[in-house]
Structure formats: C-alpha cells, structure tokens
Amino acid sequence: MTDTTDRVYIAKRELNGEYIAIEHGTTGYSPTTVYDQDHANVLNERQGITPAMVEAAMMCSMFDNWNRFESLTAMHESRKPDLPQSKLGA
C-alpha cells in the first residue's frame, strides 16, 4: 500500500448526508465545503483514494485505530464490486 500519512479523505455521513474531511491518523472529522458526491470523488481521486479507503478511514477515525487501515481497506475492497466512485454513495 502507498504512503497515506498526508491524506485527507472526503466522506459522506449517512446519518445526515453531510460531507466530512477525515485526516489520516486522527480521531474524528472536520466539516468541509464539499457539497456533492461528484465533488468528493474528484478530491479523493486526486489523492489516489479509493472508495474502500474512504470506508476504512471512517472506521479508523471513529475508533482511533489507524493500525488496521490496510486490513480494513482490503476488507472493503473485497466486499464491493469494482465501481467508479461516482456510483457509490449516490
């Protein structure tokens, strides 16, 4: 897996549809000005972030357990078909 330490993942909270920014290695999230899934996809793709990595980042930041990032990413990649990001979360 590539170096992920400087990445910021843009994710959509399913609870309220709000887009959030998750900084790699931190707990919790920050508000963001992202306004739709296409915008989030562009920002994630520029950093080489896959949908599986976004899912893993959400779990890691929630439980403050970033040492499982790679295994969680692999788990999410194996559970979802290989779809473009614009197809996910829409």
- For the chain (length 90 residues), average pLDDT per consecutive 10? 75 93 94 94 95 93 89 85 49
Q: Domain limits of the chain?
A: 8-84
pLDDT score, position 81: 59
Angle at 64 between CA 74 and CA 55, to 5 degrees: 35
d(CA 71, CA 24): 15
pLDDT score, position 3: 62
pLDDT score, position 80: 60
Predicted structure pTM score: 0.78
Crossing angle of the two packed helices 51-63 and 69-79, in degrees rounded to 10? 140
Q: Spell 69-90 as b/e; 16+ CB within 10 A means b.
A: beebbeebeeeeeeeebeebbe
